[in-house]
Amino acid sequence: MRIICTGHRGFIGSHLYKELSDNEVIGIDLVEDRDIRTLTPKDLEGVDFVFHLAARAKVPYSVDNPIDSHDHNVNGTLNLLWCAKEAGVKRVIYSASSSAYGDKTSLPLRESMKPNPMSPYGLQKLVGEQYCRIFSELYGLETVSLRYFNVYGNEMPLDGAYSACLAIFLDKRRKGEPLPVLGGKQTRDFTFVGDVVKANLLAPKSNKVGKGEVINIGGGRNYSIDEIAKAISDNIKHFPQRKGEPMNTLADISKAEKLLNWKPEVNL
């Protein structure tokens, strides 16, 4: 198979890229000066599947730079979908985000719930999902959106959009410095990066998806940030919780089990 993996130099993308090595894989990443916003249909000719992970994947960055993050996350996704449609790509697997849900009082979070993003990043990722659905309905391009919940694992970035707190906490403990806890009472559903990769690998194979479905990819259990911090160190310093983020997240993963035959294997 011929595959394109956007964002292959990022945290999740690099793990997925390694697992795709038995195929002909083309990586596209800004680190290598390859921009999804400037792709043409010719760049995707002969490609079977596209894994779209490239994004300005930081909530704080989107709050401070909503125009630039919109340009990458929305316009870039739209251009990629158009090129995929024009080139006859079989299916696009889109990396969505649980930040599309916003703050919900009812848990677990189900895909049928009305989205209510609290940040430009959450809104931009939601728009990407909707573009995927529209391209499936209007143009017949097969798409599926995987909503990730706080991904963690080896090579976690200190400034990522997902579970940056884990990387920061471990880094601070190594340095003998206090763990900076922003808030602490909020809870998060943490998902191991290897499980996220497995969900991606199953998405092209399933005959139950391809019409713009949105599917939660989560660990199925949540933990408070205070709980995580105390498990790592007793040296903790609290700060106010930052804006644009929900109080609690917890994924209902029954749809992933039904449509992808997927469930998480690693517990935090």
Q: Encoding tokens for residue 85? A: 């449609």
| pLDDT-based confidence at residue 84 (cuts at 50, 70, 90) | very high
Distances (CA, A) of 167 to 36, 58, 101, 186, 197: 28, 15, 24, 17, 19
- In degrees and rounded to multiples of 5, residue 24 shows phi and psi of -85, 105
Query: Whole-angstrom Cα distance, residue 179 to residue 227?
Result: 12
Q: Domains in the chain and their CATH numbers?
A: 2-152+190-221+249-260 (3.40.50.720)
Cβ-based neighbour number of residue 252 at 10 Å: 17
Coil vs helix vs strand at 215: strand
pLDDT at 98 over 80: yes
Element (H, E) at 91: strand 91-97
- Identify the pLDDT of residue 160: 59
pLDDT at 162 over 50: no
- Identify the pLDDT of residue 199: 99
Q: Report, as an integer, the average pLDDT of 106-118.
A: 97
pLDDT at 156 over 90: no
pLDDT at 161 over 60: no
**Annotated catalytic sites, by residue?**
121
> For the chain, what percent of residues have pLDDT higher than 90?
88
Q: Produce one character per residue of 151-162: b if its CB has 16 or more CB atoms within 10 Å, e if not.
A: bbbeebeeebbb
pLDDT at 20 over 90: yes
* Residue 134 and residue 173 in contact, taking contact as beta carbons nearer than 8 Å: no
Instruction: State pLDDT tens for residues 177-204.
Output: 999 999 999 999 999 999 999 999 999 9
pLDDT at 120 over 60: yes
Q: Encoding tokens for residue 177? A: 């410095």
Instruction: State pLDDT tens for residues 225-234.
Output: 999 999 999 9
Element (H, E) at 144: strand 142-148
> For the chain, what percent of residues have pLDDT higher than 70?
98
Coil vs helix vs strand at 61: helix
* Residue 216 and residue 148 in contact, taking contact as beta carbons nearer than 8 Å: no
Least confident of 92-96, 105-109, 159-163, 247-251: 159-163
Coil vs helix vs strand at 188: strand
Query: Strands 222-224 and 187-189: what pairing?
Result: antiparallel
Q: Report, as an integer, the average pLDDT of 111-138.
A: 98
Element (H, E) at 192: strand 191-192
Least confident of 5-19, 31-45, 56-70, 147-161: 147-161
Q: Produce one character per residue of 89-102: b if its CB has 16 or more CB atoms within 10 Å, e if not.
A: bebbbbbbbbbbbb
Q: Report, as an integer, the average pLDDT of 138-154.
A: 97
